[in-house]
Amino acid sequence: MINSEKEELQEILDNIKTELSQFKKERSELIPILQMIQETFQYVPPEALTLVASYVGISPAEVYGVATFYNQFRFHPPGKHPVKVCLGTACHVKGGDIILENFERKLEIAEGETTADKEFSIERVACVGCCALAPVALLGETVHGNMAPSKVEGLILRIELEKDIARREKEKQNQDA
């Protein structure tokens, strides 16, 4: 972990410590606390589990067990371009899991993880309300319907191209300045 990442993490942990005071020091507060952390920081840093454990008076292993039992918690910060693959019933029936697998293979990360350059992350989500377009995936806020394995590479490529164009434009502006 590089220094800026360590500092960022420390800041998050300090914030969590402050936020914890609004919860009772009880085991029943565990899920609401984890939800608060995820909503505030978009993920639950594994380092926060020890903090939470000592706050509610149970072991870190138990907190980890509860947090991993529920699919809603992620332990990596989301990428700049979060990929969400719908695995609601309609999407599942139409091969949503194959779409998920294709994103995992293309980005070389598993669901719940973030690429090393922090550009992409993958997560599975429940029905996003566009069942007529099943199977559905979201890239950022954009819904992509009627997904097919062959579309996965194109979507990733498009983002990489846009990034490349933005980088070149920035370089050009810097040269002109």
Both structure tokens of 112: 């719940």
Minimum distance, C-beta of residue 149 to ligand FES, in the bound complex (Å): 17
Comparing CB distances to ligand FES, the nearer of 148 and 166 is 148
Residue 29 CA to chain centroid, in angstroms?
23
In this chain, which residue has its C-beta nearest to ligand FES?
Answer: 88
Enter the tokens of residue 124. Answer: 């599975």
CB of 39 to ligand FES, least distance (A): 22
25 burial type by CB count under 10 A (0-12 exposed, 13-18 middle, 19+ buried): exposed
Q: Which is nearer to ligand FES, 79 or 88 (CB)?
A: 88
Footprint on this chain of ligand FES (rule: CB under 6 A): 86, 88-91, 127-131, 134, 136
Q: How far is the CB of 145 from ligand FES (least distance, A)?
A: 8
Of 13 and 138, which CB lies nearer to ligand FES in the complex structure?
138
> For residues 22 and 89, which CB has a smaller minimum distance to ligand FES in the complex?
89
Spatial contact of 83 and 137, defined as CB atoms under 8 Å apart: yes
CB of 151 to ligand FES, least distance (A): 16
- Smallest separation (angstroms) from ligand FES to the CB of 129: 6
CB 34 within 8 A of CB 44: yes
User: Would you call the peptide bond into 46 cis, given omega within 30 degrees of 0 as the criterion?
Assistant: no
Dihedral Cα 91, 95, 99, 101, nearest 10 deg: 120
- 138 has which bridge partners? 84, 143
User: Nearer to ligand FES by C-beta: 80 or 92?
Assistant: 92
